[in-house]
Chain A
Amino acid sequence: MCGATSGGPSVEGIDVAKETVIQGVVVSGGEPVSTGYARLLDSGGDFTAEVPLSATGQFRFFARPGEWTVRALVPGATGERKVVARQGEPVDTQVDVTV
């Protein structure tokens, strides 16, 4: 989408010092995907949360410090990215999906 902000949504209004934020954007062919879902899986692969992507392909989770996997589901495609989260330092990631 032309003009979309790269990376995750703004952290304005979030107490980033207290929260462990994992956020980002889902892209396909370099463009954000507006229809789909981002799933947060723990280090054992268990589902922890899921959010629909925003119109600009963005997502955000409030997790805890540690290793996580963000898995994206969009029509006809999936993708995933491993991240390490730390309290007070929002992780901003990009998940590429491929058919």
Chain B
Amino acid sequence: MSRENALVNATWAEEHASDPKVVLVEVDEDVSAYDKGHIRGAVRLDWKSELQDPIIRDFVNKEQFEKLLSEKGIANDDTVVLYGGNNNWFAAYAYWYFVLYGHADVRLLDGGRKKWELDGRELTAEVTPRPATSYTASEARTDIRAFRDEVISAIGSKNLVDVRSPDEFSGRLLAPAHLPQEQSQRAGHVPTAKNVPWARTANEDGTFRSNDELTALYAEAGVDLTNDTIAYCRIGERSAHTWFALHELLGLANVKNYDGSWTEYGSLVGVPIEKGA
């Protein structure tokens, strides 16, 4: 994967607006944002009710993903362009799902919903229906997803990249500051993790920094990108954003997203935790 075929800009999206084989998909934390206005023709994915299993803490399985995409009118040979709020956090999270389940052509709209709005581009509340398809997913890839035992065994050996804000990394905050701070888990970070906040990979308008800037960022943070890397955050969406930067933009194959992230690790009994910067 490379920057050229993982990322599209707004002009590309507008030029392909009437292409029936290009599907824009909006994924937001605030799922009501789509109702207020979305890019014309875009379908909505609800990261919580549609991408998460309703009972256990896990994401949807292969059959659930196939059913979801079929109902959304997304075909295997469609080009899927994901975008959303929060600087594309949840769109990147959905992107990671699409790659995990083997979708051939998936891309991210650089800057997401924010840049689109700040540029004054059109948003509409009108929903464009798409006819149902019969989507077939691959078996879930295991080479881009990390589980807790791998994270624990990675302490002191692999790169652990904590992409939360410095205040969350140090334990002074338990969640991003747009959310209430009452949480059950412990504060801090996985020992030996380096704090490279996701926001440093992006410009203020939400677009990704250049590959040279990204490479320099991790080098300055002391992350040797030739080693295996596991990215984590609080619930796995911001680390999906960093996974996208490393795996898709820089083309590094040895990068995993730990979607259990701090809400899992910080609740485990007996695992080591570091606090402070």
Contact = CB atoms under 8 A, between A and B. Distances in A.
A13 B17 CA distance: 42
B182 A15 contact: yes
Nearest to B177: A49
A66 to B, nearest CB: 8
Contacts of B102: none
Interface in A4-27: 14-15, 18-20, 22
Main secondary structure of the interface of A (DSSP, over half): strand
A51 B176 CA distance: 11
A48 B177 contact: yes
B179 A42 contact: no
B119 interface: yes
Nearest to B202: A47
Interface residues of A, number: 29
Nearest to A64: B172
Contacts of A37: 114, 118
Given A46-B197, A73-B204, A62 B172 contact: no
A51 B178 CA distance: 7
B197 A63 contact: no
Contact of B85 (A20, A35, A52, A64): A52
- Most B-side CB within 10 Å, residue of A42, A48, A75: A48
Given A52-B30, A73-B205, A62 B118 contact: no
A50 interface: yes
A64 B166 contact: no
Contacts of B205: 73
A93 to B, nearest CB: 15
A63 B173 contact: yes
A60 B176 CA distance: 12
A61 B181 CA distance: 10
B64 interface: no
Interface in B90-119: 114, 117-119
Interface string A45-71: 011111110000000111110000000
A75 B199 CA distance: 20
26 contacts: A14-B180, A18-B181, A19-B180, A19-B181, A20-B181, A35-B117, A40-B177, A46-B197, A46-B199, A46-B200, A47-B200, A48-B166, A48-B167, A49-B177, A52-B30, A52-B85, A52-B114, A61-B177, A62-B178, A64-B172, A64-B173, A73-B118, A73-B204, A73-B205, A75-B118, A75-B119
3 A-B pairs closest in CB distance: A47-B199, A49-B177, A49-B178
Given A48-B173, A62-B175, 12 more contacts: A36-B117, A36-B118, A37-B118, A42-B166, A50-B86, A52-B114, A61-B177, A62-B181, A63-B177, A73-B114, A75-B118, A75-B120
